[in-house]
Amino acid sequence: MSKVFLVTGGAGFIGSAVVRHLINDTDCQVVNVDKLTYAGNLMSLKSVESNDRYHFEQADICDKNKIAEIFTKYQPDVVMHLAAESHVDRSINGPSEFVQTNVVGTYTLLEVARAYWANLSDDKKSSFRFHHISTDEVYGDLHGTDDLFTETTPYAPSSPYSATKASSDHLVRAWLRTFGLPTIVTNCSNNYGPYHFPEKLIPLMILNALSGKNLPVYGDGKQIRDWLFVEDHARALVQVATKGEIGETYNIGGHNEKQNIEVVKTLCALLEELAPNKPEGVQYYAELITYVTDRPGHDVRYAIDASKIERELGWKPQETFESGLRKTVQWYLDNKDWWQAILNNSYRNYR
């Protein structure tokens, strides 16, 4: 009998990649629980929405009664918790939503899962998993050029976003230690790829360039991030949820450390090749690069040591940064309907 995966935040960027992977590459049932905030986009699931193994429930993870109803209705074997407010700039401008969703929401989900798990039969109980998906930003930043985040790196979050994600990680581990709830945590590096909401660096730069707008780069652009192709991440997450050890943490990275300015210049070069017909008045895409005031508390460098998940679970990324970025740019060029619906807000009608 196929497993039932309950995916919170399944209409988001990473969540929708997980849902598509589960439907397309496994035989499991998938229950997508999403509040459909601004970043939740059901158009990202158009390719799987008619599959009889896919189910959608619009719900807020802070709504304990509704979430409990969903658990009772679908009887999940695995919870993959991705629902979160995730944009650092938004967390600086309005931290309260981040505390509510990332901390209170995770607590609520843990409590519903604990009550549900406690009443399962012994065999269902032993196979149940609560997989919490987090970020490398909980570790703060790295100032050296060679050191890497490992699963035992102390937490030192810098932004309201990363502080609320760190809080939720601690809650998940406490529910294992105190109540025995079988939990697993993963921390990932920066994701990129198709279906990425346009406020994030790579899609923002692609769409701004295509419309002849400035490409705003924070500070000197030398902040370093480790980039992970979202479909590689989705494969890693399902591997952890099904094969990972209870109580373990797995760091997931792309082995692709790049300065932000390097990413933007690479995008410009790809667009020169793939979209040579530029907006009026633009001779080269790179001339649109504009340096802007750095954001408060901007971390300098993130880099993940992903050797544990490769060693223990056999996962490693299939895409290089170059191959993944090319696929990403081509996807945005081929799927204008998807991102134009976001820019004109009509994607909210696709419900």
Q: What is the CATH number of the domain that holds 111?
A: 3.40.50.720
Q: Which one of the listed residues 161, 192, 250, 347 is annotated catalytic?
A: 161
CA–CA dist 104, 2 (Å, integer): 31
pLDDT, position 68? 98
Per-residue pLDDT at 242 exceeds 90: yes
User: Minimum mean pLDDT among 56-70, 90-104, 160-174: which range?
Assistant: 90-104
- For the question of residue 231 being annotated catalytic, the response is no
Determine the structural domain holding residue 115 and report its residue range. 4-196+228-255+302-321
Domain assignment present for 296: no
pLDDT of residue 156: 95
Whether the Cβ atoms of residue 98 and residue 85 lie closer than 8 Å to each other = yes
The answer to whether position 14 is within a domain reads yes
pLDDT at 300: 82
Q: How confident is the model at residue 351 (pLDDT cuts 50, 70, 90)?
A: low
What is the structure's pLDDT at 57? 98
User: Dihedral of CA 33/37/224/261: which sign?
Assistant: positive
Q: Which one is catalytic: 60, 85, 136, 319?
A: 136
The length of the chain, given as a count of residues: 351
Share of the chain above pLDDT 70, in %: 99
Around 245, how many Cα atoms within 13 Å sit in the side-chain half-sphere? 8
The mean pLDDT value for 223-235 works out to: 95
Q: Which residue among the candidates 60, 77, 85, 137 is catalytic per the annotation?
A: 137
Contact 258, 225 (CB under 8 A): yes
Instruction: Specify whether 38 is catalytic.
Output: no
How many structural domains comprise the chain?
1
Please, what is the average pLDDT of the chain?
A: 95
pLDDT in tens, 70-118: 999 999 999 999 999 877 778 888 899 999 999 999 999 999 999 999 9
Percentage of residues in the chain with pLDDT exceeding 90?
A: 86
Q: Is residue 290 part of a domain?
A: no
User: Which residue would you say has higher pLDDT here, 297 or 11?
Assistant: 11
Asked whether residue 238 is domain-assigned, the answer is yes
Q: Is residue 211 assigned to a domain?
A: no
Q: What CA–CA distance (Å, rounded) separates 58 from 35?
A: 5
Cβ(164)–Cβ(150) under 8 Å?
no
Structure tokens at 335: 């799927």
Q: 90 in a domain, yes or no?
A: yes
Q: What is the number of alpha carbons within 13 Å of residue 273 lying toward its C-beta?
A: 9
Mean pLDDT of 41-68: 98
With respect to residue 277, please indicate whether it lies within any of the assigned structural domains.
Answer: no
145 has pLDDT over 80: no
Q: pLDDT for 261-317, tens place per residue?
A: 999 999 999 999 999 999 999 999 999 999 998 878 777 888 899 999 999 999 999
Residue 137 among the catalytic residues: yes
Q: Which position has the higher pLDDT, 51 or 93?
A: 51
Q: Stretch 54-79: mean pLDDT, rounded? A: 98
Model confidence at 127, pLDDT cuts 50, 70, 90, reads: very high
Residue 276 inside a domain? The answer is no
